[in-house]
Amino acid sequence: MIRLSCVNLKEDRNDIRLIHNIRNDRLTKNNFTVVGIMLNDENNEIISNQLKEFNTYYYENNNAKFEKYLREYKVKNIIIGINLNNIKTEEELKKYIKNIQKVGKICRICKTRIGILGENAGEIISTIIFNYREKLEIKNVKIDDLIDSIKIEMYRSKKQRYNYIYEKTCDILDYEFQSKNLCDFKNNKCIEKRQTNVICGCCRHNTNLFSTKLVKCKYLKNKKCQAKCISCKLFTCDTLQKKGVKFKIEDFYFLNYYFNFLQKFITKYSYFTQKSTIIKRLMVLGK
């Protein structure tokens, strides 16, 4: 089963469509190269036959060879080809992500774009997916996550890529808290502080390292956080943890597989800190 993935960078939307035969699709009218990542088409006659219609390059973890190919043939656009049968374990997933990152880096160096324009406004066709299935066997990983790995590499700047990872994770956390009403606010008091006079929930901190006095976070204004601090969003109080609500770095695809140890530490423990400051720290500590 073959699917095309179309992404929209402005609206952060993925659309995965079923196609029965690549040759009958509008793809044949565009000039691009299919770059196979963990495709292993040589052992798969069906995939080989489908890709005969296109210029195809099979990435083999050789950056110099790939860069030479892009420059020699003046490749302006590529589409990533993946075979989900080859991404069944966590080790295979890590290999896939590393290869995607390397391909993205070389494409930026050679000014080659990932994806071609789709039929709808703002739409970019980024991926051909072979052996598509609804679910992966890897915990906390969805098909959309694999597509988002490619989407990240479509952003030209390092800041844009980190910003996407940051925003994506915050959106997931916001949805969890709001849709499930985890803090259970009533009369401006959360479930943890219900029997106290505190009306700002857990948005309080010590004035300094040696003080026991707690003050309201300066970024809390009109009952809304102005900092968009990912560390605060990951935090859950004792009451919620007793109810089994606890968020770990490993629970989030991008944080778990894209960040190194120091970046994970910064993400987890930069409480009461503005998003812009955290992004700067992540960029310094990352590749």
Q: If pLDDT is split at 50, 70 and 90, which confidence band does 42 have? A: low
* Helical (H) or strand (E) element with 48: helix 45-51
Return d(Cα 38, Cα 58) in angstroms, integer: 8
**Average pLDDT of the residues of the chain:** 84
Domain count, the chain: 2
Q: Would you say 22 and 79 are in contact if contact means Cβ atoms under 8 Å apart?
A: no
State the pLDDT at residue 189: 81
Whether residues 42 and 131 share a domain: the answer is yes
Q: Which of 148, 114, 125, 155 is nearest to 255 (CA)?
A: 148
**Beta strands 33-37; 77-83: pairing state:** parallel
Identify whether residues 25 and 132 lie together within a single domain: yes
Same domain, 86 and 122: yes
Q: Are 102 and 83 within one domain?
A: yes
Closest CA to 3 of 13, 23, 18: 18
Predicted confidence at residue 24, as pLDDT, reads 47
pLDDT at 254: 92
CB 173 within 8 A of CB 258: no
Non-local (6+) Cβ contacts of 19 within 8 A are 2, 3, 4, 25
| Domain end call among 126, 155, 184 | 155
Report the amino acid identity of residue 12. Answer: D
Confirm if 229 and 275 have CB atoms less than 8 A apart. Answer: yes
Say whether both 142 and 211 belong to one domain. no
Q: What is the pLDDT of residue 190?
A: 83
Judgement on whether residues 115 and 231 belong to the same structural domain of the protein: no
* pLDDT higher than 90, residue 267: yes
Residue 88's alpha-carbon distances to 92, 94, 95, in angstroms, are 7, 11, 11
- Domain extent, residue 222, equals 161-285
Kindly tell me if the per-residue pLDDT of 29 is higher than 70: no
Q: Which of 106, 131, 155 is the last residue of a domain?
A: 155
Distance CA 203, CA 215 (A): 9
> Considering 131, 155, 179, which residue would you say is the last residue of a domain?
155
DSSP of 174-236, one letter per residue? HHHHHHTTTT--BTTB-SSSTTSS--STT-EEESSTT---EEE-TTEETTEESS--HHHHH--
Q: Which of 101, 148, 134 is nearest to 5 (CA)?
A: 148
DSSP helix/strand/coil, 125: strand
Same domain, yes or no: 93 and 116? yes
Same domain, 73 and 114: yes
Most confident of 39-43, 86-90, 218-222, 259-263: 259-263
Whether residues 272 and 215 fall in one domain: yes
Tokens of 119: 């039929």
**Residue 273: how many CB atoms within 10 A of its CB?**
18
The residue among 157, 150, 109, 155 whose CA lies nearest residue 127 is 150
pLDDT tier, 116 (very low <50, low <70, confident <90, very high otherwise): confident
DSSP secondary structure letter of residue 113 = E
Does one domain contain both 9 and 114?
A: yes
pLDDT of res. 11: 65
Q: Are residues 227 and 201 in the same domain?
A: yes
Are residues 220 and 136 part of one domain?
Answer: no
